[in-house]
Structure 1
Amino acid sequence: MAIATARFLHGRDTPPLGRPSARALLPLAIAANRLPIGLRETIYSVASGAEARPPGRLAAVDIEDIAAAIVRLYPQRRYPAVVLGSSNGALVHLCAALGIAWLPQTLLLPLRQRHVPPDEPMRAVHAFNDTARALLTRNPDLVLHHMHDPNQDRLTSHRMAYFRVKRTRLGPAYERFLTNTLDTGAVLFLAECTRRWPTTQVSERHVFQFGAVGGLEPHQYRDGDPRVAAYLRRYGIPRTRWEAPPSDGESPEAEWGFEPALRDDVIAFARRHGYQVRRLIFNDPEALSPLVADLYRWWYAERGMPSNRLLIESFILLEPRWTLLTGCVPYWSVFPVQHSAEALARYLDESDTYDFLHLMLFCHGVESVGLTTVDQWRTLLQRARVTGMFAGVDIRRYPSDLAAVFSYQRALRAIPARYPIPEPLPLHMFDTFFAQHGHRYPNVTVETAN
């Protein structure tokens, strides 16, 4: 998401997985799609787990090195505002519209693992305590969320543990970027997703999160669900539910939630430098999606353009530059799960009808619990006045289409409409839009913090 935002600000599109070299993998993925599903699952597991790093290397990470790499992604120019905080696909499009950078609070540090089965969270919770301790000792301004999700991350979890870290302070690299690029009196937007999740305290600044936002709610991971029992049987697990460590509290959700400790540091920094701070607060990752979609529709109307084409993105399948080039209204969904389908249906219910719907689907390789079926997606696509279509996904192989992550941009380029990339939307126009329409988004709040 940071790469997509930064490349847009450089006037470039976003390559698959954020890497230009990944485009060369499309022919291999298309060929691999012809293999039986078991082999496709193995390929997905190996390929997705390849980004994991050995424990020793992860323990030696200096988060400031990563922060410096992030700020180097962006054009070093003057900005009227910058966003800091929660990760969010709709936020990428908001930054693109405003022409501003986004500095993430949460980072994924993929950790190599080989001996913790996905369905054994009791073994996962303390499997990397030494690595966690070394990482946190080296980086005192981080909180570590070790996330373990055998539902959606089943294939990746065979080879990778999910260490997500959240900054509690800006740190030198972020501060230098802000002081070097922000206009006098600029705005610091704090993107604060308030989604929380039951966690188990492992040590100071280290929690274990079992499950994640997606097809199941927290209690369904722990209390048992007939769908979970059927899912486990499919993989030869003779249980009706997962045995997980008891939760002893709640924390910001590992992937999407905002750690409030950062807020105080940002406000103090802003006071020292004469910046404004505005909190963009939302209760769910997808709560921003209707607001940003409607902002684009309103913006297109202000520009005298049609606004009848909705692009429904999925997880990391997003592309801000081609969204604007094709005149699409961006609607970002977290994952292709029931919760996301229901949120999309509510948005379509409350909006003027779109002539065209283009649907991307991120494929995580397995028919996880809570996954939305192809037929259910087709029903939603029928809501288009003219036509609704899948974009870049082979629905015959969903959710194990290995090429989907490489093909979505081709689908965007196939849209015939072309429009010039506009000048950034001034902040006062965003304020005007929210003042006029903010009542339509009860789960989103914008407020001044200082």
Structure 2
Amino acid sequence: MPKVQKGLTADGAGMAGDRVVAAGSTARVLVAATARALRGADCGDLGQSTPLSRFTAAPEPVRRAAAARAAGRIALTPDQTAEVDAERVARWIVDQYPRRRYPGVVLGSPHASAVHLAVALGVPWLPAAFEMTAHWTRGAVDRPRAALDHGAALAARVLAGNPELHLRQVHCPASRGALAGSTVSLVARWQALPRAYARFLADRLEPAASLLVVRDARTWPVSDEGQGHSFQLGCPGSGLEPVDFHPDSNALRQVLRSAGGDGGHWEPPEVSAAGEHAEHGVEPGFVDGARHWGRRHGHGLHEVHVPQPTALSAAVADLYRRWLRRAGKTGDRLVVECGRLLDPWQVVRAGLVPYWCENATRRSVDGVEMWLAGSEPFSSVDVLPESPGMRSPALAGLPQWLAVAAFGRRRRALDRTAARGYPVASVPTRRATEVLRNQPYDLPVPPPLGVAEAVAALREDGAPMGLAVS
């Protein structure tokens, strides 16, 4: 591939956004789902079945090799990382939304309940970061120091043309499995409001519309030398704790065996900051930029600090229930989504209450069980467990997912297709659409929520769970 001449990337000569942003990354799926919902469309075209589905019953080494080959076909090459243009990515994101005026916008960390909130408000959702994956040809899942060295070199290429980014490298065999040894994961966080976002807000927001920024407040130890690139060993979404990534950890040994590694080679880099926000945190400069833009243009800004994903999931589910009942609907049918198995438009079309589990870890499933135990009973509960594609000691078993479905008084449904081959089989996003299309229609859709009403409800209902709204 030809080299990019110095200076061209900043002028928009970089790669197209749909090539840069990692396929299947949470933020990418959430933008696509929100844009479709605002057009009155579902997610039936998102995520086709992959060739890996035929390897479900294959031995672990065969599945790992197939996954690595598939990831390698779509990961960026080292030369391509120099062509990344973050502004072009931002333009690609905003261009997915219908061209009309909106009464507000939701920005920030990738959380499906933030997307459900945006759809109820009738507004777009804009991520504060995007994920990239790049080749690590001679990588090894059990050598984090080598991962850091390789990632730092790739990050330098990206940052040369995008100084407004902070790149958080995440090396997590517990959430990425064998892919952590064949590709590098870089979360690109904007340190200022992208120009494309500012233009979008100026063109599309109604007068006095509000900005709502959702911030993942979880922390994790990182190595950061202050060069725009930081390294994170493990992640909150793994269902494990930072101590579990210590060389003496039994959980780490199990994870590395499953991913094809050896715990004897595990040498973690030095930690420079123990309390930094994890990969899905929002850069302070992004929030400051949004607030400054809002003040100059007459738009207020609210922040929602989320201590754990379960807190926002529960608060938005409660908000949906009240919203539906106010419109004369029962609000008694629940769908428990997981990971990329979601469809905001089908949820609204069927008059369902959505609760989102970040992933299939026991921690996530414990959260929905506790919320259900303290909630008014639902007449039906549909559960869509996303298979992580690998085994981990932190994963919830199918009996725990079945226990969630058992909260339904009349209907208790665990999707069999999603459960088949769990936890190693992959299921595309469109599977959620297929399931929810079978739910009876409950139209018309309720009138959109108001931003002020939503903020007040999140402040009141979320406070007991640690949700902080300002």
The normalised TM-score by structure 2 is: 0.87
1:211-250 per-residue CA deviation (whole Å, 9 max, x = no partner) reads 0122201121126332333344456655379421121104
TM-score (norm 1): 0.91
Q: Give the 3-state SS of the residue equivalent to 1:292 in structure 2.
A: helix
Aligned match for 1:77, one of 100, 104, 110: 100
Could you tell me how far 1:103 is from its partner in structure 2? 1.4
Question: Are positions 1:101 and 2:130 aligned together?
Answer: no
- How far is the alpha carbon of 1:297 from its aligned partner? 0.5
Q: C-alpha distance in 1, partners of 2:204/2:255?
A: 50
User: Who is 2:293 aligned against?
Assistant: 269
- Cα distance, 1:428 vs structure 2: 3.9
User: Which residue does the alignment assign to 1:187?
Assistant: 210
1:76–1:44: structure 2 CA closer, same or farther, 3 Å change rule?
same
Q: Is 1:361–1:393's contact at 8 Å kept on the other side of the alignment?
A: no
Per-residue deviation at 1:72?
0.4
SS in 2 for 1:4: helix
**One of 365, 374, 383 as aligned partner of 2:398:** 374
Pick from 32, 39, 56 the counterpart of residue 10 of structure 1: 39
Deviation at 1:251, TM superposition (A): 2.4
Once residues 71 and 313 of structure 1 are traced to their aligned partners in structure 2, the CA distance between those partners, rounded to angstroms, is: 25
Q: Deviations over 1:267-289 (max 9, x none)?
A: 21112111111111211233210
Q: Which moved more, 1:372-381 or 1:40-49?
A: 40-49
1:253 maps to 278
CA offsets per residue over residues 372-430 of structure 1, 9 Å max, x none? 11122222222221232222634341011233544222111122344333332222432
Instruction: Look up the match of 2:250.
Output: 226
Q: Confirm or deny that 1:148 pairs with 2:148.
A: no
* 1:5 alignment partner AA: T
Aligned residue for 1:393, secondary structure, equals helix
Aligned mates of 1:39, 1:403 — CA distance in 2:
19
**Stretch moving more, 220-229 or 349-358:** 220-229
User: How many matched pairs?
Assistant: 439
Is the 8 Å Cα contact of residues 134 and 185 (structure 2) preserved in structure 1? yes
Report the Cα offset of residue 90 of structure 1.
0.6
**2-structure distance, mates of 1:31, 1:174:** 41
Residue 284 and residue 434 in structure 1: after superposition, are their counterparts in 2 closer, same or farther (change >3 A)?
closer
Report what 1:139 is aligned to.
162
1:228-247 equivalences under 5 Å are 228-233=252-257, 237-239=261-263, 242-247=266-271
Higher deviation after alignment, 217-226 or 118-127 = 217-226
Which position in structure 1 is the counterpart of 2:324?
A: 300
Q: Deviations over 1:152-203 (max 9, x none)?
A: 2013324321011100111221110011111112111121221111101144
**Aligned letter for 1:339?**
R
How much identity, in percent, do the aligned residues show?
29
Over 3 Å counting, the alpha-carbon distance change for 1:356 and 1:40 in structure 2 is farther
Which amino acid is 1:310 matched to? L
| Contact 1:224–1:241, Cα closer than 8 Å, also in 2 | no
1:413 is the counterpart of 2:442: no
Contact 2:113 2:356 in 1 (8 A): yes
The residue type paired with residue 414 of structure 1 is: N
**Match of residue 330 from structure 1:** 354
Distance 1:186 1:234, change over 3 A: closer
Q: Against the structure 1 CA distance between its residues 233 and 279, is the aligned structure 2 distance closer, same or farther, given a 3 Å change threshold? A: closer
Tell whether the 8 Å contact from 2:43 to 2:430 is kept in structure 1 after alignment: no
Q: Is 1:81–1:100's contact at 8 Å kept on the other side of the alignment?
A: yes
Kept in 1: contact 2:315–2:462 (CA 8 A): no
Q: Could you tell me how far apart the structure 2 residues matched to 1:105 and 1:183 are?
A: 21
AA in 1 matched with 2:208:
G
Sort the Cα spacing of 1:265 and 1:233 in 2 relative to 1 into closer, same or farther, 3 A: closer
Closer/same/farther in 2, CA of residues 78 and 234 from structure 1, 3 Å limit: closer
Kindly indicate whether residue 112 of structure 2 is the aligned counterpart of residue 89 of structure 1.
yes
Letter in structure 2 aligned against 1:186: A
Could you tell me whether the CA contact under 8 Å between 1:83 and 1:189 is conserved in 2?
yes
Cα 1:54–1:15, aligned 2, differ >3 Å: closer, same or farther? Answer: farther
Tell me the SS of whatever aligns to 2:417: coil
